[in-house]
Structure 1
Amino acid sequence: MKTIKFMVVAMIFSFVATTQAQTAEEIIANYFENTGGLDAWNSLEALKFEGAVKVQGMELPMTMVQTKEGKQMTMAEFQGMKFYQGVFDGETMWNTNQMTMAAEKSDAETTANAKLEMNDFADPFLNYLDKGYTVELVGKETVEGTETYKIRLTKEPIMVDGKETPSVGTYYFDTENFVPIVVEQEVSSGPMKGMVSQTKLSDYQEVEGIYFPMSITAGAKGQPGGQEIMIKSIEINPEVTDDMFAFPEKQ
């Protein structure tokens, strides 16, 4: 009789634990609910971020613009000069060469990969099923003292040296607030190839009903330093013109 009672109690606790367990889909749903709601996120047409990039003890003024069409632009100022990085008008991606200060178009492969990310505005998890992305709850992990849900996001493969390469990111969601605080992804090309990039997100603040991280630090996992970006203001659905993203043909 005691054995039967024990089994019944064990079954009850097992059932309670199962019903309380979170799935990847529920965690993502909670994320959007806690940060403004899907309707608010889907109403976004463009975002403009004003802030500063910390470089060697200096704070360089920075502006970022992103649109629902996939256009983007990042511009930093230093000693009266403007440096553009990752500018994309939907067809052409370009940057400022920091040695010559001339605008240079990216290679075909980089541009093709940028086109794959055009539907990631304003968050890669937004309507992820419609994009054909998959999510997987890997488990729980404590990150810098915070308990998190570890979720793997798999997107469309990207091209690296002419070969299709998986595009997989790992997101660590705070179990209390259901917001990502760390994003990791293996670097597939360039000097950091084979290393894991790590982006830390913190200081979430409300802007017109939607919560955004106002502090972003990007670098290599396990390595000191990293580039810190401080967001000072965010404009929802600002006026955007095509010339903001256009490659300057005449220099």
Structure 2
Amino acid sequence: MKRFLLSSLFVIAALAVQAQTVDEILDKYFAQTGGKDKWMALKSIKMSGKAKAQGMDLPIVVLQEAPNKMKLTINFQGKEIVQPAFDGQTAWVTNMMTMKPEKMETEDSELMKADTEVQDPFLNYKDKGYKAELQGKETIEGTECYKVKLTKKPVKVDGKEEENISYYFFSVADNVPIMVRSFGKKGPQKGQPVETYMSDYQEVNGMFFPFTTAQKVNGQQAFSMTADKIEINTDIDDKEFRMPEGE
């Protein structure tokens, strides 16, 4: 009888976990961070703060504009270095040798088009042709999380079509993602886990954003960024994202 009761409890516990659907988790997340209506109305983000790389603290500005424009500018010894920018069609960076802007490869531009989104990728994800799957729970740095697999549309890497998959870890207690695990798609980082940690969520005009972000590549700290200020739905001139002409 005792063994039967224990078995029944295990079955009930398993059913309780299964009852928590991925859409319920995402609904709680959107409710926690401002609501779907505010996410739908999000058109631009401007973040200013400091980045830590190779032991140095560097002023940084990140601009984003819907649907997928972005620009990351680092100030190093009084010089503005873009790493990278994307105007919706073309990606470009500051060449560290010549200190002049140069286009990235066409394939890199296509990868940025696929992965750069101002509005949350889980917002109306089914309409975008994405797939979200709950894959149980996992503990991330002592925090119990729901593990959600996000599959976007395939991308081309080195001329071959590959899956575009990432894993989001939503804190069970706080209903927000504290880490995203993806995998390098090109170059020396190809296939290596790239983990982005988010913390210090703060309110900005009724929405909540992480003010601290850190990235590890294959377990090694690569980059961290702390925002001093985040602004949303501000006007950003399109020329900010375009590569300067005549360069």
Alignment of 1:53 onto 2:65: no
Give 1:185 shift. Answer: 1.1
- 1:194/1:15 Cα in 2 relative to 1: closer, same or farther (>3 Å)? closer
Shift of 1:126: 1.6
1:76 Cα deviation (Å)? Answer: 0.7
- Pairing partner for 2:35 from 37, 46, 55: 37
Query: Is residue 2:74 matched to residue 1:76?
Result: yes
Give the Cα–Cα distance (whole angstroms) in 2 for the partners of residues 165 and 191 of structure 1: 17
Alpha-carbon offset, residue 116 of structure 1: 2.5
With the length of structure 2 as denominator, give the TM-score of the two structures.
Answer: 0.92
Q: For residue 205 of structure 1, what is the aligned residue in structure 2? A: 202
TM-superposition CA deviations, 1:132-174 (whole Å, max 9, x none): 1001111111111110111100001111010101000011110
Structure 1 length-normalised TM: 0.91
Q: Separation in 1 of the partners of 2:13 and 2:54?
A: 54
* CA pair 168-16 structure 1, distance change in 2 beyond 3 A: closer
Q: Which moved more, 1:230-239 or 1:49-58?
A: 49-58
- Counterpart code for 2:217: A
Which runs of structure 2 are paired with 1:50-199 in the superposition (5 Å)? 50-117=48-115, 120-199=117-196
Residue ranges of structure 1 left out of the alignment (5+ in a row): none
Query: C-alpha separation between the residues in 1 aligned to 2:38 and 2:202?
Result: 15
Output the amino acid matched with 1:151. V
Cα pair 2:131 2:152 within 8 Å, conserved: yes
SS of structure 1 residue aligned to 2:174: coil
CA distance in 2, matches of 1:59, 1:210: 27
Deviations 1:14-47 (A, max 9, x none): 2895388311111111100111110111111111
**Distance between the aligned counterparts of 1:104 and 1:134, measured in 2?**
35
Provide the C-alpha distance between the structure 2 equivalents of 1:102 and 1:96, rounded to a whole number of angstroms: 5
Distance 1:138 1:210, change over 3 A: same
Question: Which deviates more, 149-158 or 14-23?
Answer: 14-23
2:27 is equivalent to residue 25 of structure 1: no
Point out the structure with max Rg over C-alpha. Answer: 1
Q: Which moved more, 1:156-165 or 1:184-193?
A: 184-193
Task: Between 17-26 and 205-214, report the one with greater CA deviation.
Answer: 17-26
Does the residue aligned with 1:14 lie in a helix, a strand or coil? helix
Q: State the match for 2:245 in structure 1.
A: 249
What CA distance in whole angstroms lies between the structure 2 residues aligned with 1:201 and 1:63? 17
2:84–2:94 CA contact under 8 A, matched in 1: no
SS state at 1:31 partner: helix
When residues 16 and 71 of structure 1 are mapped into structure 2, their CA distance, relative to the original with a 3 A threshold, is closer
Gap regions ≥5 residues in structure 2: none
Residue identity over aligned pairs, in percent, reads 43
1:183 Cα deviation (Å)? Answer: 0.7
Alignment CA distance shift 1:16-1:55 (3 Å): closer
User: Which SS does the other structure have where 1:248 is aligned?
Assistant: coil
Secondary structure of 1:91's match?
A: coil
Amino acid aligned to 2:189: M
User: Is the counterpart of residue 237 in structure 1 residue 212 in structure 2?
Assistant: no
